[in-house]
């Protein structure tokens, strides 16, 4: 026995509520990360990412509210008045709440895919690379608009989305957005991986964690779309469940990239700051351990530190303590002390680029 539509509505709304709550939590963390990064890098908050975050939250919230209203109408308010009962209510493609939730899903899909394509352009810096994904993005909008219009014009009692002309457009929509998401995610991961290999010998950090973040987000979204497409092709009512949880998943994948990359960057920054502070403390302690003679910072002291630079300029400063006797002695003898001569000799050799 297959999954009934009224039971599918209950399960889908429940699961969507769980994913929605998690997405709201990640939304708050995302705003915090964006604010902290702006402080750490001493620049303005990335208001474009903030705006996208709010837009995705608005879409998820609107979709959640519509599903609550739809479930309440089908199971409570219109249970006895809608022709055919709850099953007929949830199977009607032209029902108002079904059209409304699909419009919200369309907007959120275009927003999420658009941000992914934009990230790809930022990484590649080439319109040629993102030309095909942009064409696919427009195609997704056209196909989904046709599917929504076809759903709205289905006569009452004509059948479900599987038995009408709506099905072919929904299949095309799922396939198109899945292909676009997979292609752009692979382009992003490949470019970052290649860049990391080129600069690996010049940098102490690795970009491989960023590749993993993008791959994980792409795989999560692709898995949800693949499940929805498979259920729809098999004419399973499980596709209604997948459809409802995909909406918060789109937001989650967007937040996940910002959060994980931001936390990784903060961790690297903290580690580097701690290393720098430790080196400064050690150098300060060594410089004050002997107040009667000059302190020379040797090249070995610097080589023991993991400094993130390919070229280091070393400058040696000459330090000398004098007293009244020394000053009077210098008036009689204009020659430098042996220590000064040694220091002068090292200073001449020390001003080299390493």
Question: Which of 278 and 105 is assigned the larger pLDDT?
Answer: 105
pLDDT of residue 140: 94
Exposure string of 260-270, with b = 16+ CB inside 10 Å and e = fewer, is bbbebbeeeee
| CATH code, residues 5-273 | 1.20.1070
Closest by Cα among 187, 188, 259, 246 to 37: 259
How far is residue 73's CA from residue 153's CA, in Å, rounded to a whole number?
Answer: 21
Between the alpha carbon of residue 201 and those of residues 198, 205, 238, 269, 309, the distances in Å are: 7, 10, 50, 19, 11
Q: Hey, how many other C-beta atoms are within 10 angstroms of the C-beta on 201?
A: 7
Q: Which residues pair with 353 in a beta bridge?
A: 313
pLDDT of residue 203: 55
Residues 268-306: tens digit of each pLDDT: 554 444 444 444 444 444 444 444 443 333 333 332 333
How far is residue 178's CA from residue 7's CA, in Å, rounded to a whole number?
Answer: 27
Residues 130-189: tens digit of each pLDDT: 999 999 999 999 999 998 988 888 877 666 777 667 788 888 898 999 999 989 988 888
Residues 13-68: tens digit of each pLDDT: 999 999 999 999 999 999 998 888 778 777 788 888 899 999 999 999 999 999 99
Residues 28-40: tens digit of each pLDDT: 999 998 888 778 7
Whether 311 shows a pLDDT value over 60: the answer reads no
Q: Integer distance in angstroms from the first to the last C-alpha of the chain?
A: 75
Please tell me the least confidently modeled range out of 96-100, 318-322, 350-354.
350-354
Q: Where are the domains of the chain?
A: 5-273, 297-350
Residues 249-269: tens digit of each pLDDT: 999 988 988 888 777 666 555
- How large a percentage of the chain has pLDDT more than 90? 28
Residue 238 near residue 10 (C-beta atoms within 8 A): no
Residue 35 near residue 115 (C-beta atoms within 8 A): no
How far is residue 115's CA from residue 52's CA, in Å, rounded to a whole number?
Answer: 8
């Amino acid at each position: 026995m297959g999954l009934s539509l009224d039971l599918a509505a209950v399960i889908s709304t429940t699961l969507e509520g769980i994913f929605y709550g998690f997405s709201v939590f990640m939304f708050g963390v995302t705003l915090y990360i964006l604010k902290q990064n702006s402080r750490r890098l001493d620049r303005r908050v990335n208001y474009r990412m903030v705006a996208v975050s709010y837009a995705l939250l608005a879409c998820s919230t609107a979709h959640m509210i519509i599903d609550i209203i739809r479930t309440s109408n089908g199971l409570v308010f219109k249970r006895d008045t809608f022709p055919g009962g709850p099953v007929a209510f949830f199977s009607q493609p032209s029902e108002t709440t079904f059209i409304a939730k699909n419009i919200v899903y369309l907007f959120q899909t275009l927003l999420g895919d658009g941000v992914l394509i934009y990230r790809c352009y930022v990484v590649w810096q080439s319109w040629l690379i993102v030309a095909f994904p942009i064409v696919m993005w427009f195609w997704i909008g056209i196909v989904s608009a046709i599917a929504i219009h076809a759903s709205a014009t289905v006569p009452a009692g004509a059948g479900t989305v599987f038995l009408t002309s709506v099905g072919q457009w929904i299949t095309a929509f799922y396939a198109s957005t899945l292909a676009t998401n997979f292609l752009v995610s692979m382009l992003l991961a490949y470019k970052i991986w290649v860049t990391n290999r080129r600069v690996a010998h010049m940098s102490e950090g690795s970009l491989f964690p960023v590749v993993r973040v993008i791959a994980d987000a792409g795989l999560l979204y692709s898995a949800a779309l693949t499940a929805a497409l498979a259920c729809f092709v098999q004419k399973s009512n499980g596709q209604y469940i997948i459809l409802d949880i995909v909406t918060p998943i789109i937001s989650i994948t967007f937040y996940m990239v910002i959060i994980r990359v931001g936390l990784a960057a903060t961790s690297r920054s903290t580690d580097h700051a701690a290393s720098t502070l430790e080196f400064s403390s050690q150098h300060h302690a060594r410089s004050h351990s002997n107040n009667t003679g000059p302190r020379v910072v040797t090249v070995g002291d610097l080589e023991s530190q993991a400094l993130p630079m390919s070229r280091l300029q070393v400058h040696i400063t000459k330090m000398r303590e004098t007293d009244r006797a020394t000053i009077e002695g210098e008036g009689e003898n204009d020659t430098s002390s042996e220590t000064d001569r040694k220091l002068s000799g090292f200073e001449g050799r020390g001003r080299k680029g390493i």
